[in-house]
Each structure stands twice: as C-alpha cells, then as structure tokens.
Structure 1
Amino acid sequence: MTDPATVIGVDIGGTKTAIGAVRLPGGELLEKILLPTPTAAASGAAFLDDLVRQVGAFIEHRADNPRAIGISICELVDLQGRVRSGHRVRWEGLDPLTRFAEILPTVLESDVRAAALAEARLGAGKRYQQFFYLNLGTGISSALVLDREPHAGHRGNALAIASSPISLRAPSGEIVTQVLEDVAGGEGLAKLAAKAGLSARSAKELIALAQTSAGPARELILDAARAIGVALGQAVNILDPEAVIVGGGLARSEGLFWEAILRETRAHIWSPETRPLPILKGAMTGDAALIGAGLRAYAMSSPKLR
C-alpha cells in the first residue's frame, strides 16, 4: 500500500491556469482555483513570478501539508523537465523548476502527457496496457501510452500531432497547406467562425450552432472532424494501439461533432481488423492534466513509486 498524501497540481493551459490540491493515490481533487493564462510577452517571466506567488499562497492556507508540486504546461518539455517551446507560454530559457522548488519539491511535465497519465492510472485508460491519447482543447496534442506510462520520445517532443503543416497539390496544381490545430483546435475554430461572420464566439458555441443548423457552422465542424479523423486514423495505422482515448474540452461535446470524429477516424483506419478498436472519451473531464501533474509530484515524493 502507498501512503495517502496531498500534492499540488498546477495546469498551465492555453487560456486558463488551474492550481489544485490533489489527494493521492485516489485522485480526489480537494480544491481548485482558476486564473487566466496571460498571452504574448505577459506569459513570460512576469507570469512565472506571479504564479510562484499564487501557488505559495495557495499552499500556505492549507492544513494538510502538501508534499510536492507537479506542473503541467501546454509546451514542449524535455526529459529533464525544461520548457523547450514558447508557442503559448514563454518560459523557454527560464527556470521554473528552481523557482517552484523554493516552495516544495517540483516536477514539470507537458500537459498532454500529464493528462494521458491521469487517464492511464485513474480514468478511461485503466483497462488498457497501451493506448493513443488525443487532447482536443485550445490546441491539439497527443501521447502514446505504453504500459500505462506516456511515451515522451527521445527528446520529449513526441506530442506535436497537430502543429506542423501538411501540404498537398490540388487537382488545379495549387499547393494546399493545412495545420490541424488551425482547422480543428478551439482557438482555430473560433477564428474560422469569426471569419465566416457567425455568431459563435468560441469552438463550443460553434459546435452547438452546428448541431441545430445547416450552413457554414456545420461545414466548419464537419471539416474539423474530418481533419481529426485523418490524423487519428494515421496514428492508429502507424501505432496499432489497443484503444484511442480523446480528452480535452472539445471532446466532451455530444452529437454531431463526436459522431463525425468517430466516423472519420474509422474511415481512415486501413486494417479491417483494427477498425473496430475502442475510441473513448476521457473520463477525467477538465482536470486530467491537473491530476496527472499531481501524480507526477506524488511519484517523485514517494520512493516506492519512482
């Protein structure tokens, strides 16, 4: 048996940052506060300074003596826990581990691997030895889980399924370039809705609008589902996982969008034997990365789990 303990999870997402107290090994979220994630230059050193203060204050008022801090961030994180990109949060070149370690022992992980870990240990992936995890939120990222552990790759960069352009030559001879996040991520869909003059101000509003009306909203959502299905189908063709688990805020949508993702994914899986594999929604709702960061902190602070 492992000893119950409270740890602090910090999930830095593209639009909001969550700080929570997590009781492990059960995964109970005891308390959570939300803060906006700053953008552009404001997401750099000033944000790090402020978040260190916020986390310190959060810990100070708790009476259960949190054991460690786990941080998940929506950026590339290498095998030493260093932030290696600055797409949304500009911590590349900074030293958040040292700053937070002044409060408690700290571990830092990419948000998608933290979320995949939570699903593997406590959520929809518990029954599987291996699965492919896709996170649909403000952006899109992925992780392969092997033996209930997210695979980071040689450098820690095995997550960027949706960030690189795919270029094809159309019958007209024109080169058409598409980036999956731009057509199917939350931020990308909101921009496409605005460009189309639709009333929807977010991806979730666009999905709801597409559910009840034909026209541009439905076309955008079906195009997004098709792009997701192509990417997921190719991932399955390459990796042959036991299952696919889809998490993130957009994955919680019911109806048209989810049904189209299922249909398009299966349509792009080549092997008839593989095609019926389970494609499931994540079970950890919006707290997967927060709890996964807590799991990393718990393992670091518990010698039996290292």
Structure 2
Amino acid sequence: MPEIRQPCAIGLDVGGTKIAAGLVLKETGQVLQRRTIPTRPERGGAVLLDEVIALTTELLAEANQHCLEVLGIGIGLAELVDRQGHITSAHTIDWQRLPVQSRLADLAPTVIEADVRAAALAEAQFGAGRDYRLFTYVTVGTGISSCLVQDGHPYAGARGNALVIGSSPLTTRCHNCGSILAPVLEDIAAGPALVAQYNHRVSTDQRLTRGEEVMTVLDQGDPLAATVIDQAGDALGVSVGWLVNVLDPEAVVVGGGLGLAGGRYWNRFVASTRQHIWADNSRSLPIIPAALGSNAGLIGAAAGVWLS
C-alpha cells in the first residue's frame, strides 16, 4: 500500500530583524519544525539568500523524515512585491536584482509575496479574520503596513503597492511659521521610533536599544515612556481611523510584535482610532488582535503556495 504523505508547504517570513521558517500543514495551518535566524541585512542580499536556501534545504529534509509532501515554498518579504511576484524595492532586504525565485524554484515551486499580505492571508484562512468577509489587517513592528482583505483574498492594488500606510508622509504647512512638515507614521508609532523618541530625551547611560525595553520601563512607571507610548498609540489611531473611513471594513485585525503588545499602547490606539472614525455606525467596529502571533507571516507565505 503506498505511503500517504500529508501535504504541506515551507513558509518563510523574511523581515528586517529575523527570518522565521517552518513546515505548514495545508489542512490546519499548523506549523511544524519552526526555525528562526537573525536577518542582519547589512551583510548583503546574496549572503542572506544563501542562508535562506540552506534553511529551506534543511526543512525539505525534515519534511521527508516526517512523511510530508512539500507542495512548494512561500516567501513573505518585508519589501514591495508586485502582482506577478517580482520584488520591486530594496529598502531593507536587497533582493530586487537577485534571482530569488529561480534559485528557490530549483528546490520546489516558489511563490513570493509582501509580508503584510502573507500575514493578512493567514489571518483570513486560519485566524482572527475568518469570520469577516471584508477586513483591514494592520501590522505594527519594526515597520507599519496594512492590507485590505475581501472574501479571503488580500488586495494588492494595481502594482502591488497597496500597503505603505506607515511610510507615506503626511505633508502639511505649519500655520505659525510656514515650515513644511512631513510626518511619517513609522517615525512616531513603530518599534524603532519608540526607542528613538525615548533616547532623544534621556542621558546616554539611560538609552534603550529595543522597543520591548520601552514597554519594560513603562511597566516600571517611567513617565517619559508613558508619553512616548501615548503619542505612538494616538498617531497609529489617526491612520487606522482614516483607513476605516476610506475602506469601510467590517473589522480591523492588528498584528506584529508591537501591535500585539497590549496594555497602554493598545488601549490608546483603539481609543484614538474610534475618535477618528467619522461615521457613527462604523465607530464601534471590532478592533481585534491577530490570532496567529509571530507565525502569521510564515503561515500566510505557505498558504500562498496552495492558493496560487
């Protein structure tokens, strides 16, 4: 009798800080053999690609040992990716001019997607978005991105660029001095911004290095941390409220390390979002944490394989 091999895909979540990878079961979205390695993108795209190929090869061997059938490889990348799966930016991961898809396709069929759309797909298939036909997914961590999901499908836009809410300057002119101001959401509300704003106001020996440390000193009663967190949550709420006004989703699902931090940041963000929603019958829409945590990106990357 032939051996029955359970179908799965290899999911890779390639971010600016770390790469998470694992074998994802098609039926349930369960992650097996999870691996995490630091990205260190300053070493160059070619070095990083070699490491991803080595990691993928290791997971292929694990799949064979566990009688799993690998249907393909999915990558969720912290860059712009067009509708055909071509990488169109190199802001963090310098893969734009490298043969990423073809080299990985030597191992198994490969699909490349923007990381926020991969995570949004995971939440639509297996997580907090399952009960909604139309929802907006927002991820908040090292950066901030968003994605509209309709009928289980993340919306990419005409060129794959419908995700850059955190990087778009909101240019305006100061009424008092006439200066041109161009605030960017990520410079206020993302993880590195919390650290930068905190460190700008303290002595050298009090400086922090990670967003998690801002949360730690907040829990210890640090008033400066509270101010920084409040400003960040307020700013995020302004932008997400604007998304609700423009897109009219049934719900907002929020993921990412900082987006799932809870506490003061979350409460301030939710209050600000509702304050900036214009329509009365939209103001009470569900604003909920993503269900899949740090696995969302790799699960969604894998799901892209069997949905492609």
| Map of 1:304 onto structure 2 | none
Within a 5 Å distance, the mapping from 1:107-186 to structure 2 comes to: 107-173=111-177, 174-186=179-191
- C-alpha spacing 1:71/1:44, structure 2 compared with 1 (3 Å): same
| Map of 2:36 onto structure 1 | 34
How far apart in 2 are the matches of 1:274 and 1:164? 24
How far apart in 2 are the matches of 1:195 and 1:59? 46
* Stretch moving more, 213-222 or 236-245: 213-222
Q: Does 1:104 align with 2:108?
A: yes
How far apart in 2 are the matches of 1:180 and 1:8? 33
Q: Report Cα offsets for 1:156-204 as digits up to 9, x if no partner.
A: 1100001121122233223322111111111222222232334443112
The alignment covers a number of residue pairs equal to 297
Q: What code does the residue aligned with 1:129 have? A: R
Within a 5 Å distance, the mapping from 1:4-43 to structure 2 comes to: 4-40=6-42, 42-43=43-44
Q: Report Cα offsets for 1:44-92 as digits up to 9, x if no partner.
A: 1221122112211231233223221111100000011111111110111
Q: Report Cα offsets for 1:127-163 as digits up to 9, x if no partner.
A: 0000011001111101000111100000011000011
Q: What code does the residue aligned with 2:93 have? A: V
Give the TM-score, by structure 1 length.
0.93
How far apart in 2 are the matches of 1:250 and 1:279? 15
Contact residue 82 and residue 95 of structure 1 kept, 8 A: no
How far apart in 2 are the matches of 1:67 and 1:219? 48
How far apart in 1 are the matches of 2:70 and 2:215? 39
Which blocks of at least 5 consecutive residues in structure 1 are unaligned? 301-306
Percent identical: 41
Contact residue 33 and residue 62 of structure 2 kept, 8 A: no
Which blocks of at least 5 consecutive residues in structure 2 are unaligned? none
How far apart in 1 are the matches of 2:201 and 2:86? 39
How far apart in 2 are the matches of 1:170 and 1:39? 37
* Stretch moving more, 45-54 or 16-25: 45-54
2:221 to 206, 210, 213: 213
Q: Does 1:78 align with 2:82?
A: yes
1:188 to 187, 190, 193: 193
Contact residue 211 and residue 255 of structure 1 kept, 8 A: no
Residue 213 (structure 1) shift: 2.1
Residue 99 (structure 1) shift: 0.6
* Stretch moving more, 193-202 or 74-83: 193-202
Contact residue 243 and residue 279 of structure 1 kept, 8 A: yes
User: What secondary structure, in the 3-state scheme, does the structure 2 residue paired with 1:141 have?
Assistant: strand
Give the TM-score, by structure 2 length.
0.92
